[in-house]
Amino acid sequence: MKITNQLGLPKQLVELVNSNYKPTQHQYSCTTILKPTRQIILERRYGEQIEQDVSDMCWMIFGIAVHSVIENSQEDEGQFKEEKLKVDLGKYWEELEGYYLSGRSDMIDLIKKMIVDWKTCSAWKVIYKDFEDWRKEMLIYAWAVKDIGFEINKAEAIAFIKDHNKTKSKTDSQYPKLPIWVEKFKFNDNSFKEIEKFIYDKFMELKKYENATDKELPICTDEERWREPTKYAVKKKANIKASKLHDTLEEAEKHLENLENKEECKGLYEIEVREGTDKRCLEYCSCCNFCPYYIKNYMEKSD
Ligand code: SF4
């Protein structure tokens, strides 16, 4: 990745984020395999051409700082921090000979049979209890830790809420009270079976597409693109706010027709198409400029 420095920030910050990370062939990390296959492959393929500005990486800098504090802290009995993990998948599945799952666990607590991960998140994540990605990621880590012979049956994500608002925390009962949130997960045999299947399927897909052309890569699903679907707003012509949002054009047309049949509403209403967007493509995919889907839907359309 090329790191730019638009604000001329101190070189120490640039050096901090400039890890010169080079991916290892056939090796993917616990965090990486949660991304869509197309994104994983494109990020590797175009890694050296992808640009990011250091000023836009402040939460990454924060994460590095937190990990550095942990690394220099003293563990309790039975605790291991920043343990490097590398699972030889050929041991489990012949067809994945030469493929490896890698990772670094923030903390393994052998006495509590637990792994701990430090995270950052938005207040919305906590309000909506949107923790499935954390559960899955920590389950993958737990599976990798089991591979080195340790028993793990739970996990704790300790998250710093980046946009925590003290005033809201006092007035809104749904809002997290404190800027740190601890989410706990329990794992059993079924959880490990589920994640083993996920790891196998994901690596088989990566193996299948590693050498495919950009266009041949499987298109990220709506869910993977964090797609917000197109809506059809029936609204008063002079207003911005919709009277009602519909999922289909047919529903919206029916609504408009009903309004047109009322004398007092005749000619006052219209349908506005609110195009759906792909949140991940637009905001969270560093290889978007190299992705045919993004180029077609967001670059060519705006020309
Ligand atoms: S831009 Fe969108 S479709 Fe393309 S790889 Fe990224 S997330 Fe997937």
pLDDT tens track for 111-154: 999 999 999 999 999 999 999 999 999 999 999 999 999 999 99
pLDDT at 111: 94
pLDDT tens track for 197-210: 999 999 999 999 99
- With a 6 A CB cut-off, is 291 part of the ligand 1 pocket? yes
- CA of 35 from ligand 1 middle (Å) equals 10
In this prediction the pTM is 0.87
- Residues above pLDDT 90, as percent of the chain: 75
**pLDDT surpasses 90 at 64:** no
Ligand 1 pocket test, candidate residues 41, 227, 291, most atoms within 8 A of CB: 291
Cα distances (angstroms) measured from residue 215 to each of 37, 120, 270:
13, 34, 39
Higher pLDDT, 164 or 22: 164
pLDDT at 59: 87
pLDDT tens track for 209-268: 999 999 999 999 999 999 999 999 999 888 888 889 999 999 999 999 999 999 888 889
Mean pLDDT of 80-94: 93
- CA of 219 from ligand 1 middle (Å) equals 8
Contacts 24+ apart (CB under 8 A), 254-257: none
pLDDT at 241: 86
Mean pLDDT of 39-60: 92
Whose CA is closest to atom 5 on ligand 1? 39
Atom of ligand 1 nearest to the CA of 39: 5
**pLDDT surpasses 90 at 71:** no
Whose CA is closest to atom 4 on ligand 1? 291
**Domains within the chain, CATH numbers bracketed:** 2-209 (3.90.320.10), 230-275 (no CATH)
- CA of 281 from ligand 1 middle (Å) equals 5
Mean pLDDT value across the chain? 92
**pLDDT surpasses 90 at 86:** yes
Residue 195 phi/psi, 5° resolution?
-75, -30
Give the sign of the dihedral formed by CA 160, CA 165, CA 170, CA 172.
negative
pLDDT tens track for 1-33: 889 999 999 998 888 888 777 899 999 999 999
pLDDT at 300: 82
d(CA 300, CA 168): 41
Atom of ligand 1 nearest to the CA of 224: 7
- Residues above pLDDT 70, as percent of the chain: 99
Q: How confident is the model at residue 303 (pLDDT cuts 50, 70, 90)?
A: low
Mean pLDDT of 92-111: 95
- CA of 279 from ligand 1 middle (Å) equals 10
**pLDDT surpasses 70 at 302:** no
- With a 6 A CB cut-off, is 35 part of the ligand 1 pocket? no
